Structure 1
Amino acid sequence: MAMSASDPFAALLPAAAATMPVAWGAVRIPALPPDYAPSARELTDPDPEVRFARRTIARIGDADTRELLLIDKTAPHAGHDLMLVAPRAGATPDALDPASATRFWSCALNFVRFVSDPAVIERFGLDGGQLHLALNCDPHTRDRESVQASKQLHLHLIHWDASELAPLSAPQPALAALAPRERRQALDPATLPGARLIAERLAALPLGIPGARVVPVDPARQLAGLDPLGCTLRLPGWETLATPAFAALIARLHQCLDGLAGELLAALTGQRTPPAPWRRHRLRPVAARRAALEALDGSAASRAELAALAERLRDLDPATAARLARATPARRQQLMTLDQPSYALTLRVPARTRTTAPPLAAREIELGIQPKLFCGIGGAGLLGIDALPCVRIVRGVGTLSPAQWRQRLAFQQDFARANRDQLAVAPQTLARFHGAATGWR
């Protein structure tokens, strides 16, 4: 499926969308030193143990399972961040068995605990910063740029310091000021209609966590930065992450979203399986699409929003697809849909309750779900911060200074030790950094 190069979905947005503030490039994160850049093999090898060999800070599990890897990123989203990878699992949040999934999310909680430790805050200058966890799911898109480039389950553990976020204190442009191509990335066409339908489906889903609830979808609040873009669940604090109930909820969320994506694909194309690379299924005739969408389990409002969006989709013919294979990423993102299901899951302290207290003190956290149709930017690079509903993180601007890199390495190693000490699983193997050429060994 494709969409025209103009801005055909703009008419579907609420009037408030035009004035939505968008920080498109205000936060700029330096690259790691050139000597540490990944080789071609590290970028393309199908074996994650090869791809991440120089960047693996800790291995959690024995030599046979190597259940989880704690790795340094190829392109950081912040000066203080890491990535947790399940190298042998699939690409979706339900790919781990219950015990492994609980350990996975326990590591995430340990990161929250770590950046909330007063000694860590003082040592690494984290006071006044912000925490963000992001997991992207896009298991089937293997042609155009995806929200999940690495097709193993992985979680971004991110903490920005106050200086990195300082540019956000200045006035930011409105969505209407961006070029049409950028507007479609900043506010994916599926975000608002998808959020309503997802919230309706989750209303019937047992969340399994006392105090957890689905936030009513209010586009005006989202566009004003009061609620995250997409569908949001409120959960009772960070400690929830270490419970089997949370891991089970994440798996059920994926299964719900996967099933919904299959229903929508079948309604629009008559197909449920992903298309071949550089192809998209042909759309059904208009009348058949309308009838199928009308039969979906959802409110009249959500079905109408989806129908309006579906009417603006066009078939992606083979000749155009062949040209897009040779085109720029921006052009592909403008004209070629992602293969469903595709979404970002994010965890943060609600903007309305955030204080200067460490993140762990938050009595409530937000789990955000953003459906993705065209935007190839995941939840670690396109997110809401405070009252700004859309912040684009630009990576690779300049290079970390030697002092900044030493601090980053120390932060990562200290967290690996703290995680080992708090995580009740053995054995764990921690690496030491031996220079850019060798990396972590």
Structure 2
Amino acid sequence: MTHPPGIPHEYPPPTTWGNRAEPVLTGPWYRIQANPAARRGEPFVVGWLSAGGGAPLKLITNAGPVGEARQALLFPSGARGVRVAHGRPHVRDNGPFAACKPDRHVHPLPTAPAPPGIWTSPAFSNPPDDPEVPMADPLLPPALESARAAVPILDSLPAPGYATPRAPQRVRAMRSVENIYNLSGVLGHVGTGPAEAWIATDKTFPHALYEVMVMSAGTGVRPGLHDHSEAYAASVGAMGAVFAEHCANWELSPVISWSYDPATVDRESIQGEKRLHTHFIGRTAEEVDMVRARSTPVGQSAPGRQRRIVEEASVLAGVLVADCLDPSTLKALEPVAPLSSAASTATIQLRMRDGWDSLADPGLAEDLTRIHAVLRTIYDRIGAACLTGETGPWRRPALDPVGVERVDLPLSDRSREALGHYLGGMRPQLLTDVEALRNPSNRDRTTHIYPLADLAYSVCLSAHQGQVYTHVRVNVFSDLGGAGMSVLDGTVVKTRKGERTMTPEDEAHRLDFQRGYLDRVRHHAYGGHALFPLAQPSLDPRTARIGPGPTTRSPGEQVQAEGQAGTRLLAMTRRPARVAREERSPQASGSPSPPPSPSADTSSGPEL
């Protein structure tokens, strides 16, 4: 086998079980997915192959059948495989087998006996916690796949949960404001229009110890930021800017995120609750250190985990958006070149020009609305050229990869080729067994091969190396949204909820953090824009930047601000079991003591 262009020579040579030094290995070739016979030491011909550039090794064999792509191999008995070039011209003509001839391979590589015990290694069968996934082949060209494989991830960052959640976990349960009050711990309720509002809540199933969630609470369900008014965006943006300052005062790293996936209601969605809900999370220094110490390249994960955590679609979307988005139209954001960093490979990354102050800039919401429109156009025009049929409950359109040349977008040749490679790698035949896909026990398989119903993406705002970035992650298969999947210190991080139970001291710290945040909002320069958006002029963050503490006011202004805040912010609602926490000393937990409330000395308003 010769080495095709771009494929390095360092990958291990094929290995045989026997003494022949240089066999001529003929195809077709198959990648082994499960091989119980190999565990018993039965001989067969195999080899390791890598696409290069850090791409994972794949086990291949020539002992395959003639006919369908995925079925039992002829030898060894019991193995299953996928024919490498089956129905994929981009693999046959441009992939790692491009130099192979139909009946022979030029300059066969040397071979050697298999090491003792190799056939009993877990590498030759699926581990018990990684069920077989029938669509594990990457959908990206080798260059993009190599960049994707190198993205650092942490799987997973543990999050504590309440010992007794106030309500069972359900999806799409917040159909009315009354539902929100009954199912979550309401902290504040602010109107932004006659039929529009937001509610700050204590999340019943936390993604972090230090956390507040802001949920759209109008009369209807509005799933996206672009579905809301300028007043809503200004109000929530001001809340986010103050949250970033509050986190800095607590020596936490702020992470703000949300998801958009209104159409998917059959399988697992990245937006289970269809009301827009924004997660305000503060990550501790210990959590950031854990991310740095334990992160690994996503290419070292099982194929199913790779797609779930760093999906191919998000890498491809970064390339397509770079072709279709005019940077000069953005006001608060600056695009980062795709593939120029790990975060700009895994997401569409944009630098926030004024850091966390950008949240108080109306231009940020305008930019995010524009990016949504670009993603909507890309999705719709690809669909118009390459999809046929309707989307509905457990029904998806038919795919025509040849239509990629008809996609009406200003794509570069490399981007269009990458899109064709992605669509050509799809296997729609796997979607026919709907009953199996609907079975909850097959969730891992379903979220790996059955696409979401329409345009879906998550947004994560976080800092890295002194800069604050917006990360947009496009989903086609993965069920992980903005809070379950975030970018922390440049690393893609999956959160695992309920890993341990909060102690009473944990709950006390969480309560103090939330109270201190709302108290800071009341006294901040941004407070009026957060709590009374309809009465405020447009906020210029350059004249009201985040400072080290609350804004100084005259006594009259102080009383007026606190009285106004009291009409909007509600006292915390808690389970009776937590009432006694206020008398506990937070120092007992061993956690850092929270900083004093910014209004502890002069506040005469309602206690929060």
Question: 2:238 is matched by which residue type in structure 1?
Answer: S
Kindly provide the amino acid, as one letter, of the partner of residue 176 in structure 2. Answer: D
Any idea what the Cα deviations from partners look like across 1:48-84, whole Å, max 9, x if unmatched? 5314434211101289646110011132121101111
What residue number does 1:44 align with? 173
Contact 1:316 1:336 in 2 (8 A): no
Shift of 1:156: 0.9
1:366 counterpart residue number: 469
CA distance, structure 1, for counterparts of residue 255 and residue 152 of structure 2: 20
1:10–1:265: structure 2 CA closer, same or farther, 3 Å change rule?
closer
Shift of 1:96: 0.9
Give the C-alpha shift of residue 93 in structure 1: 1.6
1:325 aligns with 2:438: yes
2:377 is matched with which residue: 255, 259, 263? 259
Aligned to 2:161: 31
* 2:227 corresponding residue in structure 1: 95
| Residue of 319, 325, 335 corresponding to 1:196 | 319
The structure 1 residue matched to 2:254, chosen from 131, 151, 155, is 131
Change (3 A) 1:43 1:143: closer
The structural deviation recorded for 1:414 is 2.2
Measure the CA separation in 2 of the matches of 1:238 and 1:103: 15
The equivalent of 1:148 in structure 2 is 271
TM-score, length-scaled by structure 1:
0.83
Instruction: Specify the alignment match of 1:173 in structure 2.
Output: 296
The yes-or-no answer on 1:55 pairing with 2:202 is: no
1:395-437 per-residue CA deviation (whole Å, 9 max, x = no partner) reads 1101000110111122112212322444211641312234258
Tell me the equivalent position of 2:417. Answer: 304
Q: Which residue of 2 aligns with 1:352?
A: 465
Identity, in percent, stands at: 23
Q: Does 1:283 align with 2:368?
A: no
Pairing 1:106–2:238 present: yes
State the one-letter code of the partner of 2:481.
G
- Find out whether 1:222 has 2:325 as its counterpart: no
Question: Aligned partners of 1:228, 1:193: CA distance in 2, in Å?
Answer: 9
Q: Deviations over 1:211-235 (max 9, x none)?
A: x421111x2x433x5x462212112
Residue matched to 1:358: none
Distance in 1, Cα, partners of 2:168 & 2:294: 39
> Of the candidates 545, 564, 568, which is equivalent to residue 428 of structure 1?
568
Unpaired runs of 5+ residues, structure 1, are: 122-126, 354-363
Distance of 1:91 and 1:101 partners within structure 2 = 13
Give the Cα–Cα distance (whole angstroms) in 2 for the partners of residues 4 and 45 of structure 1. Answer: 35
**Partner residue in 2 for 1:213:** 334
> Shift of residue 332 of structure 1?
1.5
- 1:177 positional shift: 2.4
1:375 and 1:42 map into 2 onto residues whose CA distance is 17
The 1:109/1:171 distance shift into structure 2, 3 A limit, reads closer
- Whether the aligned pair in 1 keeps the contact of 2:311 and 2:475 (CA below 8 Å) is yes
Following the alignment from structure 1 to structure 2, what is the Cα–Cα distance between the partners of residues 391 and 62?
33
Q: C-alpha distance in 2, partners of 1:16/1:317?
A: 27
Measure, in 2, the Cα distance between the counterparts of 1:249 and 1:147. Answer: 22
Q: Is the 8 A contact 2:161 2:500 kept in 1?
A: yes
Q: CA RMSD in A?
A: 2.7
**2:526 is aligned with 1:412:** no
Q: Deviations over 1:221-279 (max 9, x none)?
A: 433x5x462212112222121122222222222222222221122222146xx711111
Q: How many residues align?
A: 404
SS of residue paired to 2:417: helix
Classify the secondary structure of the residue corresponding to 1:170: helix
Question: C-alpha separation between the residues in 1 aligned to 2:172 and 2:503?
Answer: 24
Paired with 2:178 and 2:425, the residues of 1 have a C-alpha distance of 43
Higher mean C-alpha displacement, 41-50 vs 412-421: 41-50
Residue 8 to residue 400, structure 1, CA distance change in 2 (3 Å): same
Q: Secondary structure at the match of 1:61?
A: strand
Residue 6, structure 1, aligned to residue 109, structure 2: no
Q: How big is the shift at 1:104?
A: 1.8
The partner residue of 1:20 within 133, 146, 151 is 151
Which whole-Å CA distance do the structure 2 matches of 1:374 and 1:203 have between them?
A: 28
Establish whether residue 292 from structure 1 lines up as the match of residue 406 from structure 2.
yes
After TM superposition, the structure 1 stretch with the greater mean CA deviation from structure 2, 142-151 or 160-169, is 160-169
The structure-2 alpha-carbon separation of the partners of 1:14 and 1:318, relative to structure 1 and needing over 3 Å to count, comes to closer
Counterpart residue type for residue 341 of structure 2 = Q
Q: TM-score, normalised by structure 2?
A: 0.62
Whole-Å separation in 2 of the counterparts to 1:213 and 1:17: 22
Identify the residue that residue 380 of structure 1 maps to in structure 2: 483
The residue number in structure 2 matching 1:401 is 503
Bigger Cα Rg: 2
Structure 2 runs not aligned, ≥5 long: 1-132, 533-563, 580-607
Matching residue's letter, 2:486: L
* Structure 1 residue 197 displacement after superposition: 0.8
Question: Cα distance, 1:8 vs. partner?
Answer: 4.0
Distance 2:135 2:166 in 1: 35
Flag the 1:205–1:337 CA change in 2: closer, same or farther, 3 A.
farther
Matching residue of 1:335: 449
Could you say which structure has the greater relative contact order, defined with CA pairs below 8 angstroms and 6 or more residues apart? 1
SS at match of 1:163: helix
Higher alpha-carbon deviation: 47-56 or 236-245:
47-56
Amino acid at match of 1:413: R
- In the alignment, which residue of structure 2 is the partner of 1:85? 215
Give the Cα–Cα distance (whole angstroms) in 2 for the partners of residues 70 and 170 of structure 1.
33
Residue 39 to residue 168, structure 1, CA distance change in 2 (3 Å): closer
Change beyond 3 A, Cα 1:238–1:269 = same
- Contact persistence 2:268–2:479 (CA under 8 A): yes
Q: State the shift of 1:94 in Å.
A: 0.6
Letter in 2 for 1:185: R
CA distance in 2, matches of 1:28, 1:41: 21
